[in-house]
Structure 1
Amino acid sequence: MDKYIKNFPFDNVVNLAGQVEVREGEIASKTLAQNNSVSVTLFAFDKGEEISTHESDGDAMVIALEGKGMCIVDGKEHILNAGDSLIMPSRKPHSVHAVEQFKMMLVVIFPSER
């Protein structure tokens, strides 16, 4: 049987935020799926940590799991609290900042001609 999701328990109910731990002064991540079409990654940011401004050729959805973060997309600031989601469109500059300790899931869907 093929498994397309990795680093995650099968056939069990789990808390997503509990699958990645905040580490002091770092950004921790756990990749759940990665191929030419999609990327699914859990992130845990310590307060003040950030992913600097960059662009992607795929549309990215941030799902806030715990804490408070800020995404800046094409110069516009968006505050995310647990339960909030944001779509960051492809080819737009964006960054992610931890206002406080912050956990999120990032799903990126890439174009088929990639």
Structure 2
Amino acid sequence: MTDTGREDLKEKVLTVNDLVAYQPGTVASRMIVFKKAGTITLFSFDAGEGLSEHMAPFDAVLMVTDGTAEVQIAGTPYTVRAGDMIILPANKPHAVFARERFRMILTMIRE
């Protein structure tokens, strides 16, 4: 572990879907990069779980690595599947709903 309490993942070959396990009835997350300029967080969603509508002051890139989800941006629904990505614009309400179990990488750009 590093002095921040996070495992040091630098200079390792990582299999994204092995880094955050599915957990029944919940959303699990694991932050793998935390810098002033932004963060990278991995999420796993059990089927039927989601993140309620919210806004962030920064753009974010959501990339699906497993499964299928619905992403709503300002009330418009988008279906995203493994291999898809969508940019969540700053200051626009968005929500995520797992149609089936799915995993995603969320990259938040702060600068």
Is the contact between residue 7 and residue 31 of structure 1 (CA under 8 Å) also seen in structure 2?
no
Structure 2 residue aligned with 1:19: 19
Normalising by structure 2, report the TM-score.
0.89
Q: Distance in 1 between matches of 2:108 and 2:60?
A: 4
| Structure 1: 4+ residue segments shifted above 4 A | none
Following superposition of structure 1 onto structure 2, how do residues 1-114 of structure 1 map, counting pairs within 5 Å? Answer: 6-7=6-7, 9-111=9-111
TM-superposition CA deviations, 1:12-44 (whole Å, max 9, x none):
322111111010001000001123320110000
Q: Which runs of 5+ in 1 are unaligned?
A: none
Normalising by structure 1, report the TM-score.
0.87
Q: Distance in 2 between matches of 1:57 and 1:14?
A: 29
* Partner SS state of residue 79, structure 1: strand
* Partner SS state of residue 100, structure 1: coil
TM-superposition CA deviations, 1:38-72 (whole Å, max 9, x none):
01100000000010000000001000000111110
